[in-house]
Amino acid sequence: MQPAVVVTGIGTVTSIGIGREPFWDSLLSGLCGIGDVESFDTSSYCVHRGAEVKDFRSEAFVSKLDRNCIGRASQFAIAAARLALADANLDMKTLDFERVGVTIGTTSGEPQMIERFDDAAVSGALKSVGPEFMRFYPCHVIAAHVASELDIEGVNVTIPTACAAGNYAIAHAFDVLRAGRVDLMLAGGSDSFSRITYTGFARLGAIAPEVCQPFDRNRKGMVPGEGAGILVLEPLERAVRRQARIYAEVVGYGLSCDAHHMTAAHPFGAARAMEKALSESRIEPEQVSYISAHGTGTPTNDRIETLAVKRVFKDAAYRTPISSIKSMLGHSMGAASAIEAAVCALAIFHGRVPPTINLEEPDPECDLDYVPNCARELDVNVAMNNAYAFGGNNASLILRKIEA
Amino acid sequence: MVRRVVITGAGVISSLGDSPENLHSALCEGRTGLRPIKLFSTEGLGCHLGGEVASFSAKTYLGEKNFRPLDRTSQLVAATAEMALDRSGWSVEMRGQHEVGLALGTMFCSVHTISQFDQRALVAGPAYASPMDFSNTVLNAAAGQTAIWHNLRGVNSTIAAGSASGLQAIIYATELIRSGRSQAILAGGADELCFESFYGFNRAELLCGSNHSPGDFPIPFDKRRNGFALGEGAALLVLEDAELAAERGASVLAEISGQGGGFDPSRATDSGKSIAAIARSIRLALNDAHVTPDEIGCVSMSANGSVPTDRNEAAAVAALFGERANAIPVTAIKSMLGETLGASGAMQVITLLEAMRDGAVPGISQLDEVEDNFPLRNASPDTQELDLSSGLINSVGFDGGCCSIVLSRCE
């Protein structure tokens, strides 16, 4: 019998709040973290909006490593990890650090390091690039920095599966825990605002000019963002023994690949990830109380995602509330699905689900219950967290209420 | 009931050969793939040596197709996947009926593609950046492109753990098969040789000759060693649930019988902690395989010519093997291939598969004199004849991550 795995700590760094409580309050009140991009000059771009984390102070979180050297994604991940550990009320002295692991998903790793390299290269000043580039650029440094800061010695993996990466990292942590290889995992995702990512989405015409309005008939695109979300995961038995607050149980997941197109999603792949997750969790679609949508706000994603949900849920699709928090905090890339997994756990724990804001005019092709504009009280027994990515990488995660 | 994981096919493209057999015979002859780099200019840099896959052309492996959407890393992976799938018998028809996954380890995917995309936007303006290139700037591009190419609709994961990425991806895939989530996964890794990573390693003084020491000696465990040579390539294995492999009558090359991993939070700045982490990885892998060190026939070392890392790995192996440290056969293929980063772990596996097949374990090319008090006395430049039924494979990153697997012959 494999051990049940539960969420006992939540740490979030987002454009609408740092730390679980401020973040959750902002989500329920429908706060929007989108503004004009400040981290680089967008005057030569046709779009200017982004969801940056404005008031992040790395000195509040990074103490062992040199915070001036490590990249922003590592700083976010360390902050989210420390917040999650504090939230889990863990006595670190009781941990066997060889049996604690870290899995982090990311889209871009530490993009600002290669952007600096490129700035130097085009201005003929490549010599100004020093050893820091190789020490702090490769994406695996994010999980390594978290472990190094916290003295963690177990499994250490970064999973760069683009915009679904957070779910992949949580899924892997779930497997490692169930196999009994560790006692506790820090799992989630982190990404920093990236010029490269912004340029790419701008060239695809995917960035909205003003606001992000998933599932609205007049939606104009996604808004790039940044942040981190990390969960403390541990076996149920251990959590009960130490009388931890348990947010929810992770019951299963499904991964699939479209094998169709690098950037255009396909509803079959998304549906297969949901079906695998449901089947492994032994949960019928009717039992799902809430779906956290990938919901980027691009015309195609929201239409395809709606189709995929209907394909799996049939009639139950119309009775299952589904919302996109990307309407508020933009698309935080590899961190997004980890932050959304935290939202699923919080929805289960608090009995409330966050809204999809900016949803004014229904789209005939998106005709489900997207929890428009206002948070809702809802007894959430089972929540499904969907994420889709470039490369056709799909990941669905299922969380469930723990019976008291 | 834990499922057993077996290897039913392998593919490799390296500086020393583009099949497991070619690579192995070159390694056993002690040939080197390290030469002055031609892919880009190394003028003004301390190191000029690299392990290039010379004149690689994807159409040799994949036919006359449109390769424009795939960058060099993706082409290497797609071509290698073709070879591994073909050899394991996973035909196009079978892949249509059955989900095959892909777990790809990579350190950079393509930092060259990323950098070129960004530089074009900087020089010409963001309106001139290529949307097609953008889809290759994501770190899972090679895995996604290869899935499209070969219709791999199962799990598709990219695994990053520095130069240990490839072995870590194999461990990741093993876990998925053991837990029953997947039945067949292509697993391994790839990295290309490009200016951006070469420049970075050079500036970090990790390459041979880059730290102002005279000469290029990327020779694992040698007294003269002064850093590694950067290589490139791709290597993939088909991992499969043993029951499925038996059911479909596939030929089984070996079993992955144990795995382990660890992390050194000092990130290799404290050699005691580094040795402890590597030793723990090995111990976990041996325990997982239910074997003692005495049952291991040979160790494929991660050693690449780095001064501290090679020493730490040797000390960890010695600690585990005790008195037998003097006698255990060891090989270090990076002496001839250079550090191929994401590809390296799977290349090491392929070398041991070949050694199990033909009984020859490559020596450590050009190893002349080991450092004082070097514990692994059986390290030698000569190829050894061995009847190998199990081997240990280590992958040690330069900054704290490490993992190991045990490979066993299936009777």
Closest partner residue to A179 (CB to CB) among B158, B175, B206 is B175
In B25-142, the DSSP E strands lie at 35-36, 49-51, 101-105
Question: Mean pLDDT across the stretch A267-276?
Answer: 95
Contact between B391 and B151 (Cβ < 8 Å): no
Question: Using a CB-CB distance cutoff of 8 angstroms, which residues of chain A are in contact with residue B123?
Answer: 122
B310 vs B232: CA distance, rounded Å: 20
The pLDDT value recorded for residue B252 is: 98
Q: Which residues of A157-175 are buried (b: 16+ CB within 10 A; e: fewer)?
A: bbbbbbbbbbbbbbbbbbb
pLDDT score of B2: 79
**Confidence band of B1 (pLDDT split at 50, 70, 90):** low
What is the β-pairing status of strands B330-331 and B298-300?
parallel
- The structure tokens listed for A348 are 């289960």
A172 is catalytic: no
A204 contact residues in B (CB cutoff 8 A): 131, 134
Instruction: Please give the CATH number for the structural domain made up of A253-400.
Output: 3.40.47.10
Strands of B216-358 (E only): list them.
230-231, 233-241, 254-263, 298-300, 330-331
Q: What is the pLDDT of residue A404?
A: 64
Answer yes or no: same fold for A5-241 and A253-400: yes
> A74 to chain B nearest CA, in Å?
15
Instruction: Using the predicted structure, report yes or no on whether residue A135 has a pLDDT greater than 90.
Output: yes
Distances (CA, A) of A334 to A153, A165, A178, B1, B136: 24, 5, 24, 34, 16
Model pLDDT, residue A91: 87
Name the catalytic one among A163, A212, A344, A366: A163
The pLDDT value given to residue B89: 97
What one-character DSSP code corresponds to residue A229?
E
**For chain B, what is the mean pLDDT?**
96
- Is any Cβ of chain A less than 8 angstroms from the Cβ of B280? yes
Stretch 249-278 of chain A: residues touching chain B, C-beta under 8 Å: 255-263, 269, 272
DSSP 8-state secondary structure symbol assigned to residue B88: H
Size of interface A-B (CB pairs under 8 A): 240
Give the B window 292-321 contacts with A, CB below 8 Å: none
* Residue A265 pLDDT greater than 90, yes or no: no
Domain boundaries, chain A: 5-241, 253-400
CATH topology classification for B259-408: Peroxisomal Thiolase; Chain A, domain 1 (3.40.47)
Q: How far is A195 from chain B (nearest CA, A)?
A: 8
Rounded to 10°, the helix B111-124/B195-203 angle is 100
Q: Is A32 a catalytic residue?
A: no
Domain boundaries, chain B: 5-254, 259-408
The 10s digit of each residue's pLDDT in B191-240 is 999 999 999 999 999 999 888 888 899 999 999 999 999 999 999 999 99
Residue keyed to tokens 């889990």: A88
Select the residue from A98, A112, A118, A123 to test the B interface by mutation, using most B Cβ atoms within 10 A: A118
The string of pLDDT tens digits covering residues A292-337 is 999 999 999 999 999 999 999 999 999 999 999 999 999 999 999 9
pLDDT > 70 in chain B, percent: 100
Q: Does any CB of chain B come closer than 8 Å to the CB of residue A168?
A: yes
Give the mean model confidence (pLDDT) for residues A143-149: 98
Q: Which residues of A touch B183 (CB under 8 A)?
A: none
Average per-residue pLDDT in chain A? 97
A391–B145: do the CB atoms touch at under 8 Å? yes
Q: What is the pTM of this model?
A: 0.98
Contact (CB<8Å) B138/A162: yes
Average pLDDT, integer, range B174-183: 96
A290 within 8 A of A380, measured Cβ to Cβ: yes
The rounded percent of chain A whose pLDDT value lies above 90 is: 96
A331 assigned to active site: yes
Phi–psi pair at A12, nearest 5 degrees: -135, 140
| Span A59-89, pLDDT tens digits | 999 999 999 999 999 999 999 999 999 999 9
Residue A1 pLDDT greater than 80, yes or no? no
Report CA dihedral (B89, B91, B95, B96) to the nearest 10 degrees. Answer: -150
Closest B-chain CA to A395: B155
| Interface-testing mutation among B98, B139, B153, B273, with chain A (most A C-beta atoms within 10 A) | B139
Q: In Å, what is the CA distance from A312 to each residue of A257, A322, A356, B278?
A: 16, 14, 22, 46
Q: What CATH class does A5-241 carry?
A: alpha beta
Residues 171-230 of B with CB under 8 A from A: 172, 175-176, 178-179, 181, 196-197, 199-201, 203-206
Q: What value does the mean pLDDT take over residues B326-352? A: 98
pLDDT tens for B269-284 read 999 999 999 999 999 9
ipTM: 0.97
Q: Is the pLDDT of residue B91 over 70?
A: yes
Q: HEC profile for A159-187?
A: ECCHHHHHHHHHHHHHHHHHCCCCCEEEE
Closest in A156, A260, A261 to B161, CB measured: A156
Please give, rounded to a whole number of angstroms, the shortest distance from the CA of A377 to a CA of chain B: 35
**Domain B5-254 classification at class level:** alpha beta
Are residues A256 and B153, on separate chains, in Cβ contact within 8 Å? Answer: yes
Residue A377: exposure state from Cβ atoms within 10 A (0-12, 13-18, ≥19): exposed
